[in-house]
């Protein structure tokens, strides 16, 4: 089985999509010779030329709006937003145009747009280069939202996102770019509304996604050493949510810990928490627990940033606490 990083598999996938479908195009800042700030598009300009790999000025609003125009014209644009933080400049086209076209205009309009956001903290990039805003998009009807964790999922969900006829916000975590995992060549097809069970367990369910799913898996190993078996589910598809998989697990374990590195208030952990509660409250043996960042901007200082974001240690700790609680 080949071992590969998220950065490399994203690059391979983009190349494969560009090869397979002449309507696929990339747009973004510095995605040409530079290969994008994180090297994801490296080499693609050379291979596919400037008609397919369109390097843009720094104009996030205009670029996302243009991608919408291209998408309704039969192209499949994939836009890279260098840091998710900059999507604040493109909320209007995403929310007021892309998200609404299909519902309002009906079948005549489809908007197969993928917006790749480089999200998340942990690299010391500071308050305006460490955000993700996934919750905003989940709160925007008409957008699909995906945040892969496993390396294989980076390929499979990106492929699914490109194939999808709807606008998809695709969150990539910068800490995963250099993360390496073996990836089987033959993999089942993955849909945009599916969660992934990372490992089985019966004591509690840990729900996480993106980088936090990696931390959760590490936490689960540590918990196992203490005799606690945690079922880790990589939620990965944030809108729509695969509540069936989640509820099935929770109804077996009776305990659930939801982990999100975003600020706590009105985050996705709250939504999942409510839905679990709504569907599975009679199975709960302990209160649902959220482990998130506090409601603060992400500080740049490395030790402060570390304190801000959940990690394997704090996840394991929260899980232990949960095991001690009685409903």
Partner 1 sequence: MSQSISAKKLRAAYQRMLLIREFELRVERLFLAGKITGTAHLCIGQEATAVGAVMALRKSDALTSTHRGHGHFLARGGNPDRIMAELYGKRSGYSGGRGGSQFMADYRIGYLGANGITGGSLSVATGVALAARLQNRSRVTLCFFGDGASNQGVFHECLNMAALWKLPVVFLCENNGYAMSMPVARSIAGGSIARRAQAYGIAGEETDGNDLEAVWRAVTNARRRAAKGDGPTLIECHTYRYCGHSRGDPCVYRAPQEKVAWRKRDPIQRMRRILLTRGVLISGEHQRLMQETRRRVQQAVAHAEADAWPKASSLTKGVFA
Ligand X SMILES: Cc1ncc(C[n+]2csc(CCOP(=O)(O)OP(=O)(O)O)c2C)c(N)n1
- Residue 294: other Cβ atoms inside 10 A: 9
The residue among 25 and 207 lying less far from partner 1, judged by its C-beta, is 25
CB of 174 to partner 1, least distance (A): 11
CB of 152 to partner 1, least distance (A): 25
Residue 138 interacting partner from ligand X, its own copies, partner 1, none (CB closer than 5 to 8 Å by kind): its own copies
Task: Report the residue from 3, 19, 96, 327 that binds partner 1 according to the rule CB under 8 A.
Answer: 96
The SS3 of residue 308 is helix
The residue among 44 and 117 lying less far from its own copies, judged by its C-beta, is 117
129 has catalytic annotation: yes
Task: Report the residue from 29, 172, 234, 260 that binds ligand X according to the rule CB under 6 A.
Answer: 29
The residue among 126 and 287 lying less far from partner 1, judged by its C-beta, is 126
Q: Which stretch binds partner 1 (CB under 8 A): 120-128, 173-181, 203-211, 218-226?
A: 120-128
80 has catalytic annotation: no
267 binds its own copies (CB under 8 A): yes
CA 160, CA 166: separation in Å to the nearest integer?
A: 11
The first and second tokens of residue 44, run together, are: 């693609």
Angle at 27 between CA 15 and CA 68, to 5 degrees: 115
CA 303, CA 101: separation in Å to the nearest integer?
A: 44
Q: Which of 201, 258, 249 is nearest to 229 (CA)?
A: 201
Q: Which of 177, 158, 64, 160 is nearest to 120 (CA)?
A: 177
285 binds partner 1 (CB under 8 A): no
Q: What is the bridge-based pairing of β-strands 196-199 and 230-234?
A: antiparallel
- Under a CB-based contact definition with an 8 Å cutoff, are residues 158 and 169 in contact? no
- How distant is the alpha carbon of residue 10 from its chain centre? 13
CA 291, CA 105: separation in Å to the nearest integer?
A: 40
Q: Lay out the site mask for partner 1 across 37-76 (x = CB under 8 A, - = otherwise).
A: x-------------xx-xxxxxxxxxxxxxxxxxxxxxx-
The residue among 54 and 315 lying less far from ligand X, judged by its C-beta, is 54
189 binds its own copies (CB under 8 A): no
Strands (E), 92-236: 114-119, 144-146, 168-173, 180-183, 196-199, 204-208, 230-234
Q: Which stretch binds its own copies (CB under 8 A): 48-56, 63-71, 184-192, 268-276?
A: 268-276
The residue among 36 and 201 lying less far from partner 1, judged by its C-beta, is 36
**What does the binding site for its own copies look like in residue numbers (CB under 8 A)?**
61, 85-86, 88-89, 91-92, 94-96, 99-100, 103-104, 127-128, 133, 135-136, 138-142, 239, 241, 262-263, 265-271, 273-274, 277-278, 281, 287-288, 290, 294-297, 299, 327
Annotated active-site positions, please?
60, 129
């Amino acid at each position: 089985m080949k071992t590969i990083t998220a950065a490399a598999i994203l690059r391979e996938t983009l190349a494969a999509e560009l090869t397979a479908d002449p309507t696929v195009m990339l747009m973004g800042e510095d995605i040409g010779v530079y290969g994008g700030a994180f090297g994801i598009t490296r080499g693609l300009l050379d291979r596919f030329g400037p008609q397919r790999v369109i390097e843009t000025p720094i104009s996030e609003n205009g670029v996302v709006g243009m991608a919408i125009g291209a998408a309704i014209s039969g192209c499949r644009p994939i836009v890279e937003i260098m840091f998710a933080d900059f999507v604040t400049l493109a909320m209007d086209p995403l929310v007021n145009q892309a998200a609404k076209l299909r519902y309002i205009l009906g079948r005549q309009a489809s908007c197969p747009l993928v917006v790749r956001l480089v999200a998340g903290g942990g690299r010391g990039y500071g308050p305006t280069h460490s955000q993700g805003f996934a919750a905003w998009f989940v709160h925007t009807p008409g957008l699909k939202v995906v945040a892969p964790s496993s390396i294989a999922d980076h390929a499979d969900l990106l492929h699914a996102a490109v194939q999808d006829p709807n606008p998809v916000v695709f969150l990539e975590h910068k800490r995963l770019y250099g993360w390496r995992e073996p990836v089987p060549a033959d993999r089942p097809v993955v849909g945009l509304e599916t969660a992934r069970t990372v490992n089985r367990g019966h004591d509690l369910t840990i729900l996480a996604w993106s980088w936090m799913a990696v931390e959760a898996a590490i936490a689960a190993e540590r918990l196992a050493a203490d005799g606690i078996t945690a079922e880790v589910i990589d939620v990965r598809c944030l809108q729509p949510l695969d509540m069936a998989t989640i509820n099935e697990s929770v109804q077996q374990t009776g305990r659930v810990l939801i982990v999100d590195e975003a600020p706590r208030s009105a985050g996705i952990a709250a939504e999942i928490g409510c839905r679990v509660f709504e569907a599975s409250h009679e199975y709960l043996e302990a209160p649902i627990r959220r482990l998130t960042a506090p409601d603060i901007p992400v500080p740049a200082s490395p030790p402060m940033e570390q304190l801000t974001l959940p990690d394997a240690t704090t996840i394991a700790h929260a899980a232990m606490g949960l095991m001690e609680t009685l409903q």
